[in-house]
Amino acid sequence: MNITTLGEARFPSPQRRTISDRVRVSSRLIHDPDAPEEEELLFELAGPRAHLFFDPAQTRVGIVTCGGLCPGLNDVIRSLFLELYYGYGVKDVIGFRDGYQGLDPARGREPFVLTPQFVHDIHKDGGTVLGTSRGPVDVGIAVDNLIRRGVNILFTIGGDGTQRGGNALFQEAQRRGYALAVVGVPKTIDNDVAFVSRTFGYLTAVEEAAKVLHCAHTEAHSVHNGIALVKLMGRHAGFIVAGATVASQDVNFTLIPELPLQLDGENGLLAALKQRILQRAHAVIAVAEGAGQELLAASGAGRDASGNVKLQDIGPFLRERIEQYFKAEGIPVTLRYFDPSYLIRSVPADAEDSILCDFFARNAVHAAMAGKTGLVIGLLHDAFIHVPIELLVSQHKRLDLNGAGWRAVLAATGQKFGADR
């Protein structure tokens, strides 16, 4: 995959170990002769280059965080700054406040200069020290602002919507002939970004979700015919609920967006739940927020500020249906409902996610200083890569119902629906 560059890289790099642009990482890892042939994509290997496009002494860098919170945002900000400041000698780094809103002078607060003292301990806290927001920005106004402030590099930390916005900024700057490097760091606890085997914050979210599931199991197991229903994040992909299910080993039924939810009938959830209660007198259900949307009436609520379709709330719907079902069956149950959604994304990153944040951030800096633009840092087969933004936002990653992850869920829960998909 070819990555756009701003021009010839003429300045010697201070990095002692560098990587050639010719090194590629294949999208293929497993060869299945019985599977349909897939196109092989070859991505640039991320890492420091021997020559820089930007003169570190004359370079100004901006950083912006957008969208929902995610464990590790401050880690990424800190590592971006440290690599720029100490790795390349770039001393002029500013933080744009409150997401893309901060790129519009009429809407956003004034950006501020980052310093070693400011970023020293920020990785110990959740959230983002830069603030965040949802929604787009007028691209023309934003580029005007970046040019006026003399920003040469912009790091965009966020999900699909953020990276689409970054791509628009890159293209507008290119149209004007302004040398702006836009490099994205993918961010979502849902872990559903294409060409990124694991996004930062995902494992932390799974760990926190597993703690909730353990507490839910305690509640359900402590009363006769106890049922715990736990709703977790995951709009279009079930990675969090699947990972937490396998990690906790406390769940009996896992419901994901990738699999249509059947409630009624002898093969439905309610009949299976009844059998579980009659046999074991307790049950734990974990449901992703995007599961079962086909059962809910369309609200007509449209989309949120980021352009995402507003989901109906599957949690209360399931709670009501379960209670109605057991009442009709004449089986008394005690149902506890848990919705920890925002709690699992606002905590600091765990050790493994902190390491991942550092790698994503430093590779983003290497790419930008070499004059590469219009890209997001990806991760395939344990190798960090350069992915064109347009390619990344054109695809979504989903939980493979024929893969090891879903098999592990079925083994942990013993549930029957979803086993034959």
- Strands 181-186, 112-113: pairing kind: unpaired
Residue partners of 248: CB distance under 8 A and separation at least 6: 209, 210, 213, 214, 217
Q: Is 380 helix (H, G, I), strand (E, B) or coil?
A: strand
Encoded tokens for 405: 């992850």
CB atoms under 10 Å from CB of 381, counted, come to 11
386 DSSP assignment:
E
The answer to whether the beta carbons of residues 292 and 318 sit under 8 Å apart is yes
H or E, element range at 94 = strand 92-95
- Looking at residue 64, its amino acid is V
Output Rg (C-alpha) for the chain, integer angstroms. 23
CB atoms under 10 Å from CB of 281, counted, come to 14
User: Catalytic amino acids?
Assistant: 190
**Cα–Cα distance between 174 and 180 in angstroms, integer?**
7
**Cα–Cα distance between 274 and 285 in angstroms, integer?**
13
Encoded tokens for 193: 């970004």
What are residue 26's phi and psi, to 5 degrees?
A: -80, 145
240 DSSP assignment:
H
**What are the angstrom distances between the C-alpha of 91 and each of 113, 154, 401?**
10, 15, 48
Burial of 352 (0-12, 13-18, 19+ CB in 10 A): middle
Q: Is 329 helix (H, G, I), strand (E, B) or coil?
A: helix
Q: DSSP string of 156-189?
A: EEESHHHHHHHHHHHHHHHHHT---EEEEEEB-T
The answer to whether the beta carbons of residues 299 and 244 sit under 8 Å apart is no
**Cα–Cα distance between 193 and 398 in angstroms, integer?**
9
